[in-house]
Structure 1
Amino acid sequence: MIQNEMKKLGILADVGAALVTYSESIAEGGKFELSGSRWVVRPNNFVTFEPHYLRVLNIAVSLRGNPSEYAELPELPLKQGMSGYSECTITKPDQLAAAAFYIRRAYELFQRGRNRTQKKQILIET
């Protein structure tokens, strides 16, 4: 069970647990399943988590959509993942809000489908 894996993350345990709960809550009945070394939310597959706690302490996150489709937040840099996906690595608790923001965006992109017109997300303060 993914929550048991997250409990092994020391200072990141609560962050991981919160992100799992949040992801499943917006996934309309989706649940995380282990696929290789990654936990994938099924059936939607818009986010995966790979908790690391043996040699390093972090959570590798894979998100639906290319980095160019996200309003990137400086506290949690994004990079290109496998085709059509972005990746980031959570190393500190203060990255929780940015990760949740990216997960919400990944779900929006999933809902728009693979053939969506790719648009840059922009944050505007007025």
Structure 2
Amino acid sequence: MTTARRGDLFDPQCPTRQLLDRVGTKWTSMAIKVLADAAPEEVRFGELRRRMPGISQKMLSVTLQSLVRDGLVARRVEPTVPPAVHYRLTDLGHSLDGPLAALRTWAETHMATIEHNNLTYAQD
């Protein structure tokens, strides 16, 4: 296995590119935000879905599976009928909340300008 040079975004093995591929979706970042806001409590699947308007059950399931596989989210199943499934951020997941919060802050500061630029571009 070859190791990419750090910061070489053109290399598919670049750690930054790999991370953005994993967490750069709206559903992933929203799930991390919802779980961070709930911490230290666990959140059940249905509650997560209610707190993430617009997400389908399948998309939430796929998103959570990916986050669990990457070690960002812990999953706990209660052996009830039907099973009660609980989710919480791991320490690794909590460490990602800060950088995602910075990105949210940047977006809130600059999206009006970006939208204005898009309108201006469309008129040219």
Give the structure with the larger strand fraction: 1
Q: TM-score range by the shorter chain?
A: under 0.3
Using CA pairs below 8 Å that are at least 6 residues apart, which structure has the higher relative contact order?
A: 1
Alignment TM-score, normalising by the size of structure 1: 0.24
Q: Which has the larger radius of gyration?
A: 2
Give the structure with the larger helix fraction: 2
Alignment TM-score, normalising by the size of structure 2: 0.25
